[in-house]
């Protein structure tokens, strides 16, 4: 008999700490040392639905929606559907009072099928096709964000009624953040640069189209932005541009969309964006810029995606084998990999990993969690601590996988994409089923 058998309460005390900055808010260890999310043991999800599986905590999603609405009570919060788009997710964020932004006809269709009010949908995309623009018009979306001269012509000729639009401009602000992706600088594919008069020219062309009702400007600075001052700088540049529109055309633009890109934590060395500081920075910048240019205060829209769902998601895997290389690394090989989480290969993303199905015995050792695919770079986590007794059949959990995982997943090596399992108040339900080999074969033409 062990000490844990005599004192079972020690199990939870001895379980490794689960960082609340990375895991869903409803994450705990049960009396058996198993990790639970939303009141459901992740090992039970693995047993019932197989592995790998994406798990998403519904109440965590709703909590983050409410947090945004509390911190930004005067702003419109539009969930960026590209982070994760399912009918259930669209329904949850809509019920919590968020608008929704989409960037394809597919995302638009999912949102509409979930019952989202089309007037609260914003249509994005730097290369929207004529068919997608027609779909947005027919659906009656509230706003279309114009991103090219071609769109101005196509929209202008396709409409027989007034359509509210925004023009996406690039304020040439370089975010320079840790692991940040830069989309607010001039030399990239999105929007019209403010510099050299390109934004001015696009705005004039929009105003020349009788059916395009220009109501505001849009910008997006990038992703994983940690410094709120970047958004303050964007406010100053955007208000100056809006004031220029009034000077040139006598038109007062009433909406300023600052996009998203709010940083979240994936590991111990990541710094999330402080939303309270962001709110204060944007507020001060608006006061200063509007006073300087004598311009009426516009309505602000923010478009968080990752910041809503990333930490709501956990992916569970089954250990297939453990391989110790003499003088080298220890590889813990699992039944998923780059097909369900390509962010490691694409962005050198770093994740924490935890043993989910039992209380560990023994010391922690550094390992590489390797994927199943026939690529040397298929590694989900490098040099992460796991119990020395990790073995085949164990369930591992990787937190922070709610955003840009299902949406970026592929069927590489003809491995079907994982299911999405929602957990809430002790119950689990399947939102999207596992993709099977039969699904893949149905896409093929007959021999």
pLDDT in tens, 79-101: 999 999 999 999 999 999 999 99
Residues in a beta bridge with 218: 168, 257
Per-residue pLDDT at 35? 98
> Is 103 assigned a catalytic role?
no
pLDDT above 70 covers what percent of the chain?
A: 93
Q: How far apart are CA 317 and CA 331, in angstroms?
A: 14
Per-residue pLDDT at 16? 62
Per-residue pLDDT at 435? 98
Torsion of CA 250, 254, 256, 257, to 10 degrees: -130
Question: Where in the chain are all domains bearing CATH 2.40.37.10?
Answer: 3-57+311-442
What three-state secondary structure class fits 327?
coil
| pLDDT tops 50 at residue 182 | no
Binding-site positions for substrate: 306, 343, 347, 375, 404
What backbone phi and psi angles, to 5 degrees, belong to 258? -95, 10
Per-residue pLDDT at 174? 76
Q: How far apart are CA 357 and CA 368, in angstroms?
A: 19
pLDDT in tens, 120-130: 999 999 999 99
> Please, are residues 179 and 347 in contact by the beta-carbon 8 Å criterion?
yes
| Domain boundaries 3-57+311-442, CATH class | mainly beta
**Token pair for residue 318?**
């089954």
Categorize the per-residue pLDDT at 15 as very low, low, confident or very high, splitting at 50, 70 and 90: low
pLDDT above 90 covers what percent of the chain?
A: 86
> Residue range 418-426: average pLDDT?
98
As a whole number, the mean pLDDT across the chain is 93
> Residue range 407-427: average pLDDT?
97
> Residue range 382-394: average pLDDT?
96
Q: Which of 28-32, 153-157, 170-174, 428-432 has the lowest mean pLDDT?
A: 170-174
**Token pair for residue 159?**
């409409």
| pLDDT tops 90 at residue 12 | no
Catalytic one of 290, 333, 374, 424: 374
Per-residue pLDDT at 413? 97
Per-residue pLDDT at 176? 59
pLDDT in tens, 164-177: 999 999 998 876 54
| pLDDT tops 70 at residue 137 | yes
Categorize the per-residue pLDDT at 20 as very low, low, confident or very high, splitting at 50, 70 and 90: confident
| pLDDT tops 90 at residue 49 | yes
Question: Where in the chain are all domains bearing CATH 3.20.20.10?
Answer: 58-308
| pLDDT tops 60 at residue 7 | no
| pLDDT tops 80 at residue 185 | no
For the domain bounded by 58-308, which CATH number is listed? 3.20.20.10
pLDDT in tens, 267-277: 767 889 999 99
Binding-site positions: 261, 303-306, 343, 347, 375, 404
Per-residue pLDDT at 318? 98
| pLDDT tops 70 at residue 10 | no
Scan for tokens 């001895």, then name that residue: 14
| pLDDT tops 50 at residue 370 | yes
Categorize the per-residue pLDDT at 13 as very low, low, confident or very high, splitting at 50, 70 and 90: very low
> Residue range 187-207: average pLDDT?
90
What backbone phi and psi angles, to 5 degrees, belong to 220? -145, 120
> Residue range 392-407: average pLDDT?
97
Binding-site positions for pyridoxal 5'-phosphate: 261, 303-306, 404
What does 231-266 look like in DSSP terms, one character per residue? HHHHHHHHHHHHHHHHHHH-----EEE----B---S
> Residue range 225-244: average pLDDT?
96
H/E run at residue 26: none
Side-chain-side CA neighbours of 60 within 13 Å: the count stands at 28
pTM recorded for the entire structure: 0.92
Instruction: Catalogue the E-assigned strands of 114-191.
Output: 121-123, 143-146, 163-170, 181-182
Per-residue pLDDT at 17? 74
First to last CA, the chain: 63
């Amino acid at each position: 008999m062990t000490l844990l058998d005599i004192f079972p309460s020690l199990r939870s005390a001895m379980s490794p700490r689960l960082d609340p900055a990375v895991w869903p808010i409803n994450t705990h260890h049960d009396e058996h040392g198993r990790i639970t999310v939303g009141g459901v043991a992740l090992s039970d999800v693995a047993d019932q639905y197989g592995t790998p599986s994406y798990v998403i905590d519904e109440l965590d999603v709703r909590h983050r929606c409410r947090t945004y609405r509390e911190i930004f009570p005067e702003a419109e919060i539009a969930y960026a559907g590209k982070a994760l788009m399912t009918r259930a997710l669209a329904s949850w964020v809509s019920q919590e009072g968020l608008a929704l932004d989409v960037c394809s006809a597919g995302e638009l269709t999912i949102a509409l099928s979930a019952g989202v009010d089309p007037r609260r949908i914003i249509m994005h995309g730097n290369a929207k096709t004529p068919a997608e623009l027609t779909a947005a018009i027919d659906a009656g979306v509230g706003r279309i964000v114009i991103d090219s001269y071609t769109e101005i012509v196509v929209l202008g000729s396709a409409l027989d009624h007034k359509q509210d639009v925004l023009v996406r401009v690039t304020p040439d602000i370089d975010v320079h953040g840790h692991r940040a992706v830069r989309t607010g600088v001039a030399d990239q594919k999105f929007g019209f640069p403010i510099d050299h008069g390109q934004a001015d020219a696009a705005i004039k062309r929009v105003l020349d189209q009788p059916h395009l009702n220009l109501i505001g400007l849009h910008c997006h600075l990038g992703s994983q932005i940690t410094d709120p001052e970047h958004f303050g700088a964007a406010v100053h540049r955007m208000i100056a541009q809006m004031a220029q529109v009034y000077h040139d055309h006598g038109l007062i633009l009433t909406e300023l969309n600052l996009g998203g890109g709010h940083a979240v934590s994936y590991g111990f060395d990541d710094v999330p964006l402080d939303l309270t500081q962001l709110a204060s920075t944007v507020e001060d910048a608006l006061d200063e810029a509007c006073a300087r240019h004598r311009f009426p205060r516009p309505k602000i829209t923010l478009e968080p995606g990752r910041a809503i769902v990333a930490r709501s998601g956990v992916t569970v895997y089954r250990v297939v084998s453990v391989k110790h290389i003499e003088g080298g690394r220890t590889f813990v090989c699992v039944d998923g990999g780059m097909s369900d989480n390509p962010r490691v290969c694409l962005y050198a993303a770093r994740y924490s990993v935890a043993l989910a199905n039992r209380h560990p015995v023994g010391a922690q050792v550094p390992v590489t969690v390797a994927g199943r695919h026939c690529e040397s770079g298929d590694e989900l986590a490098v040099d992460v601590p796991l119990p020395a007794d990790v073995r085949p059949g164990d369930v591992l959990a990787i937190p922070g996988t709610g955003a840009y995982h299902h949406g970026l997943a592929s069927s590489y090596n003809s491995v079907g994409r994982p299911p999405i399992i929602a957990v809430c108040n002790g119950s689990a339900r399947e939102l999207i089923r596992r993709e099977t080999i039969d699904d893949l074969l149905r896409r093929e033409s007959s021999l």
